[in-house]
Amino acid sequence: MKADALKSIRLLPPLAISRLGNSPEPVNNYDLVIPENQPLGYRQIVPAPTLIVDEKTGRIIASEARPVTFKDEQGRIRPVAPFLELWGSAGGDEWVHLTSNDLKGANIRWRVHVANIKVFRRTGDPHDRVEADTDWFDDHARRELRGVAKNFRTGKHIPLGHIQFINPTRNFPEIRARFTPAGGYVYGSNPFVTDATGAYVGDPNFGGNYIEHDLNIRDVVYDPSKGKWLGYDEVFPPYTPNPPEATIPGQIFAGQSNANIAGSWVSLGYLDDECDGTVEVEVTIGKKTLTSFARVGAGPPAFAPDSFPIRTVYDELEQALLGPTIEPKDYTIEELQTEAEEIIRRAFETIRLMNTTIMNGNAFRGQVDIGSTMVRQDRNDAERAFEPIMAPTIVDNLAVKTLHQNIFTSLRSGAAPWFVSVLRRFDEIGDLTDLGRRKMPGLMRNADGRYLCLTRRQREKIRLAAQRLISPQEEEKAK
């Protein structure tokens, strides 16, 4: 495409999720493949072509499938570092991956603004916002994203990763940038350990005669004389409604209880190096300037990389874009079957990772309520009697996996869709009756602190696939 003909540009993907890791080598690219003879078996991790970047020059020196490991030889976690690629259109729906040949004579520059506002979310103090901004740049050097906040100690920052504008070459002329997240470290407000009252704690390794160093933190960056994060107390008094700004569940930051204050949770003053934000690109061709942006985020490593959660950000975005209902023309019968099977497969993968007996509220060695479960949440939030959700004798993991296998087999075989009625609807998440709590997905919490359900669109896919509501005639008309 000639630069003069360019009408619009896009950064793709528009949302890129990275994963923290302290190894200098990112995870190599891979595909997840479902075994042909085991539709509910572990997904196979298959190496895929990976772009190898020379850090100093910013050039891609190779594209090859390399062995996939999630830790390096030193045991350090390898980060997931996504590429953001520039695409263009001369008008209409046709988009092409832009190259340096397409943009000869154009000026391309980038800007990245990321932030971690978890502490600000709690304290409400704008000086607790941790932000990094590269300003505009057009060279190919790595740019460190130095997260700073006004309540930090002088000269201190949190590394939030780095960005690099990839230097196009003859073999790899495409225009792209790469975002690499931070190492996954904890930063603090005090080099020493204190209790919930603020008193220093003696080191047990030295008989308690010396103050104990806090070995969890990589560096002390926060200044307690400026901000209130160290010792910040999120108090939720028993039997009183939580304030509107509280998260669900509350008190999810690192802290400790103050025995003198009921419902207290006192912050240890920790901060992490996760972030999210925007990557902007600007292309100037003569007097014409085109712009686009994408969003990036950094999350924890995937410790079950061969599995998918039952409900993901993708499902949320799909419903937001396409709506909760499905029209006959939206999918062919084969596509609908594949989509429905994938949802059931992800449900199976999710419970495969769970200790279902404990999550059900079963007693363990004579002890009850030994973990944070929906049984506990029902009692705490609604004063419901503490009792297991399912019959305690039928929730061992093998039995629950067998149930999901039967559902998958039923869906694939075209048998009567008996299981659709037990899928929890979106308006049943607060149903704490015996029947309501036993619906599927089971034993899991949603973002509102109540029972997890599929998105309305996910549930509709299963219902239509199970009942075969899209006939071949309707499919043919929709084409």
Tens-digit pLDDT string for the chain (479 aa): 777 789 999 999 999 999 999 999 999 999 999 998 899 999 999 999 999 999 999 999 999 999 999 999 999 999 999 999 999 999 888 999 999 999 998 999 999 999 999 999 999 999 999 999 999 999 999 999 999 999 999 999 999 999 999 999 999 999 999 999 999 999 999 999 999 888 999 988 888 888 999 999 999 999 999 999 999 998 887 777 777 778 877 788 999 998 888 888 999 999 999 999 999 999 999 899 999 999 999 999 999 999 999 999 999 999 999 999 998 789 988 899 999 999 999 999 999 999 999 999 999 998 999 988 999 999 988 889 999 999 999 999 998 998 888 888 888 887 766 778 889 999 999 999 999 999 999 899 988 789 999 999 999 999 888 876 444 454 454 44
Residue 457 backbone dihedrals phi, psi, to 5 degrees: -70, -40
40 contacts 405 by C-beta, under 8 angstroms: yes
Distance (Å) of CA 478 to CA 457, 460, 470: 19, 18, 10
166 contacts 227 by C-beta, under 8 angstroms: no
Beta bridge partners of 179: 163
The token duo for 336 is 């609908």
- pLDDT for the residue numbered 417: 64
Give the residue among 284, 256, 276, 286 at the shortest CA–CA distance from 268. 256
If one counts every other C-beta atom within 10 angstroms of the C-beta of residue 464, the result is 22
- pLDDT for the residue numbered 413: 80
Give dist(CA 132, CA 147) in Å, integer: 5
